[in-house]
């Protein structure tokens, strides 16, 4: 299937180019900044010696494209430089936090995806019923609330009032798997609620779209049982949009992690990123930002490719 391979490889190439563009973004941005970065961070009162030392530390004494290429070559080998705030290697800072963030995101995804798809399917089937309307109002509410509001509501009710879960999700290498699941339940639940709302609405819209097609009406008219219409006629055609919805929401989950981690002091990448931005710790911001952007881009490319694969019209080019 050469045309298909061509389509897929072009998507992959596009994703790689985008990622490269994002990695250059910070270097270009620092270059475009009015005045000198070292001067801006240290302020007007800095002595020329400290300024020179700081410039050397940032590598500002070299032209931007050289700095970028140096960084790129090192990053390709897993060396993301040294944190300006803690003087530790960025790669070391990242390793445990990366595991923690992935753990939280997977935890939420494993629960959210099946529940959301089921809810979306049911509310599309029983369209305009009481069930459909109440699920929709709930979803609209959850979408309109900032993540930190959902998180603090859960803390207030499930943790303070009921005392079922800890208010802060402190986990470390010593905590066992079960313990980690228990401690990070509230942050995971926050993510689940927010993501389910989005995913369920999009699934519902995708299914309703397919159910409105003429061949569904045709199947009904010739007396095909309802479950057969759904499973054999509607579902295969709704698969592409549903896969898309899932991938898009997993991408969304990766981003939602940032705010939720801060609320619960969860030791993950999101909190690291926010701290690094506040202290303008560029090597850390660059590495973590790139990780989030890379995951997001990968999931989007994956969504594209999977929906191509699930569509026979694209799979077998005429």
The site for other proteins (CB under 8 A) is made up of: 18, 21-22, 25-26, 29-30, 33, 40-41, 140-141, 143-149, 152-153, 155-156, 160-161, 167, 251-252, 254-255, 258-259, 262-263, 273-274, 276-278, 280-282, 285-286, 289, 292-293, 296-297, 300
Least gap, CB of 204 to other proteins (angstroms): 15
Are 232 and 303 in contact by the 8 Å Cβ rule? The answer is no
The Cα 188–Cα 143 span in angstroms is: 16
Burial 284-317 (b: 16+ CB within 10 A, else e): bbbbbbbbbbbbbbbbbbbbbbbbbbbeeeeeee
Closer to other proteins by Cβ: residue 193 or 230: 193
Q: Of the two residues 15 and 120, which places its CB atom closer to other proteins in the complex?
A: 15
Which is nearer to other proteins, 149 or 215 (by Cβ)? Answer: 149
Question: CB-wise, 22 or 51, nearer to other proteins?
Answer: 22
* Residue 297 CB, nearest approach to other proteins (Å): 6
Residue 162 C-beta: closest distance to other proteins, Å: 11
Minimal distance in Å, beta carbon 316 to other proteins? 29
Integer CA distances (angstroms), 264 to 21, 168, 272, in order: 33, 5, 13
Minimum CB separation of residue 50 from other proteins in Å reads 18
Least separation in angstroms between residue 218's CB and other proteins is 23
Taking the complex as a whole, how short is the minimal distance between the CB of residue 32 and other proteins, in angstroms?
8
CB contact set of 90 (below 8 Å; sequence gap of 6+): 80, 81, 82, 83, 283, 284, 287
* Cβ 231 to other proteins shortest distance, Å: 31
Nearer to other proteins, 89 or 255 (CB): 255
Q: Please, which residue, 84 or 207, has the CB nearer to other proteins?
A: 84
Which of 228/280 has CB closer to other proteins? Answer: 280
266 vs 296, which CB is nearer to other proteins? 296
Given the complex with other proteins, which of 33 and 74 has the nearer CB atom? 33
Q: Give the integer Cα–Cα distance in Å for 185 and 166.
A: 9
CB of 259 to other proteins, least distance (A): 6
- Residues 241 and 108 sit within 8 Å (Cβ to Cβ): no
């Amino acid at each position: 299937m050469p045309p298909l391979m061509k389509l897929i490889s072009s998507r992959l190439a596009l994703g790689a180019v985008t990622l490269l563009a994002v990695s250059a973004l910070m270097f270009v941005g620092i270059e475009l900044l009015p005045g000198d970065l070292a001067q801006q961070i240290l302020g007007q009162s800095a002595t020329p010696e400290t300024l020179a030392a700081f410039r050397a530390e940032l590598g500002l004494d070299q032209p931007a494209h050289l700095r970028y290429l140096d960084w790129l070559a090192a990053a390709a080998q897993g060396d993301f430089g040294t944190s300006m705030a803690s003087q530790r290697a960025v790669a070391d800072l990242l390793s445990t936090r990366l595991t923690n963030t992935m753990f939280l995101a997977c935890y939420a995804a494993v629960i959210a995806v099946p529940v959301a798809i089921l809810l979306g399917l049911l509310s599309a089937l029983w369209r305009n019923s009481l069930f459909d309307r109440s699920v929709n109002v709930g979803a609209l509410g959850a979408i309109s609330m900032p993540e930190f509001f959902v998180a603090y509501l859960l803390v207030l009710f499930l943790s303070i009032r009921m005392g079922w879960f800890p208010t802060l999700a402190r986990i470390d290498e010593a905590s066992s798997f079960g313990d980690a699941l228990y401690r990070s339940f509230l942050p995971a639940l926050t993510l689940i609620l927010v993501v389910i709302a989005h995913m369920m609405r999009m699934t519902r819209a995708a299914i309703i779209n397919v159910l409105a097609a003429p061949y569904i009406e045709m199947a009904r008219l010739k007396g095909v049982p309802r479950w057969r219409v759904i499973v054999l006629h509607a579902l295969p055609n709704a698969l592409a949009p549903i896969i898309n919805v899932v991938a898009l929401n997993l991408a969304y989950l990766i981003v939602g992690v940032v705010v939720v981690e801060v609320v619960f002091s969860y030791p993950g990448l999101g909190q690291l990123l926010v701290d690094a931005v506040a202290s303008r710790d560029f090597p850390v911001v660059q590495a973590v930002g790139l990780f989030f952007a890379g995951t997001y881009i990968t999931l989007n490319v994956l969504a594209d490719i999977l929906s191509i694969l699930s569509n026979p019209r694209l799979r077998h080019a005429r």
